[in-house]
Amino acid sequence: MPKILLYITAKVIWNFLFWNTDYYENRAHVHVGKRSTEHLCKIWLEPVVEVEDKGDLTDAQVKEVLKIVTDYREKLLRQWEQFKQGKPIRIIKIKKTK
């Protein structure tokens, strides 16, 4: 389960990752949650950014992660391509203190 992005704020650290079984899915997507999240949110990256399953996240949290995904969509899609090609993935770390 490779982590692809850590988005760090003063209040929360969001983990963005792919499941190993995602390799067999054709449509690019990412799973998102906090460290304490049991059921991760699943967000499609294509053809448009949209929520497949909000998991344990609140509506406000979903709105927050959707904005992050939209802002970093191109980087996430590049990570998806690396993943699908079996290439190593470097974790992207973003720190937002405000």
pLDDT tens per residue, range 60-94: 999 999 999 999 999 999 999 999 998 998 999 99
- Does residue 1 have a pLDDT over 80? no
Structure confidence at residue 98 as a pLDDT band (50, 70, 90)? low
Kindly report, residue by residue over 42-62, the tens digit of the pLDDT.
999 999 999 999 999 999 999
- Does residue 21 have a pLDDT over 90? no
The total number of structural domains that make up the chain: 1
**Which residue carries 């998102």 as its tokens?**
32
Give the residue numbers spanning the domain of 26.
3-95
- Would you state the pLDDT for residue 35? 80
Structural tokens at position 92: 């992207």
Output the DSSP codes for 1-70. --EEEEEE-SS-EEEEE--GGGGG-SS-EEEEE-TT-SS-EEEE-SSS-EEEE-TT--HHHHHHHHHHHH
Between 14 and 97, the more confident residue is 14
- Would you state the pLDDT for residue 27? 92
Model-level pTM?
0.90
